[in-house]
Structure 1
């Protein structure tokens, strides 16, 4: 039987350990992607277009699109505004 590696072990091999510039960049990009996916799913569930969400929150459709595709860093205050004010949802953050 082959040795099974964890996802973190695979990341360590490909990008280096946490604290390495390449690994830190991967982690940041990965977070942006996950936040974008969650925003898109919540927006669709709320039956809103990107344009409607942008109008409700005072942003631009192109910015919403970039966030949903993981192409834009987003400040927590902006994400809060999109989730709470734009979608009427509650944003929960935890530290584990």
Structure 2
């Protein structure tokens, strides 16, 4: 979309992501979205921890991990389990809700 005052074409963020990362539902796009969500989660953990006036070491002690593990979690440099996320937010006295969206009607059960 060109405007009268600029010779540059404008693109939406979604269009740029579609072109350079991949269309929604493609493996590369799914990985990108998951990494983005984990980064946001790490930032949220840091924000709440600081609002509670806790150090990384104090939070780590509450859930039984080293300070370095909390740092890695906040900076999205480690894989993390749902159990760890729940323990962290429980220690921070925060309620956690997960939304699960079924993208396909096909369900297979190994038997």
TM-score normalised by L of structure 1: 0.84
The structure with the largest helix share of the pair is 1
Structure 1 gaps of 5+ residues are none
RMSD of equivalent CA atoms:
1.8
How many Å apart are 1:80 and its aligned residue? 0.8
Larger RCO, structure (CA 8 Å, separation 6 or more): 1
Residue of structure 2 equivalent to 1:70: 76
Q: Which structure has the greater CA radius of gyration?
A: 2
The 1:89/1:62 distance shift into structure 2, 3 A limit, reads same
Match of 1:18 in 2: 24
* Structure 2 alignment gaps of length 5 or more: 4-8, 102-111
Count residues in correspondence: 94
| 1:92 matched to 2:97 | yes
Displacement of 1:25 in angstroms is 2.1
Provide the TM-score with structure 2 as the length reference.
0.74
Aligned to 2:41: 35
Give the whole-Å Cα distance in 2 for the aligned partners of 1:24 and 1:95.
15
Runs of 4 or more above 4 Å deviation: none
1:48 aligns with 2:29: no
> 1:59 maps to what in 2?
65
Answer whether contact 1:37 1:68 (CA < 8 A) is retained. yes
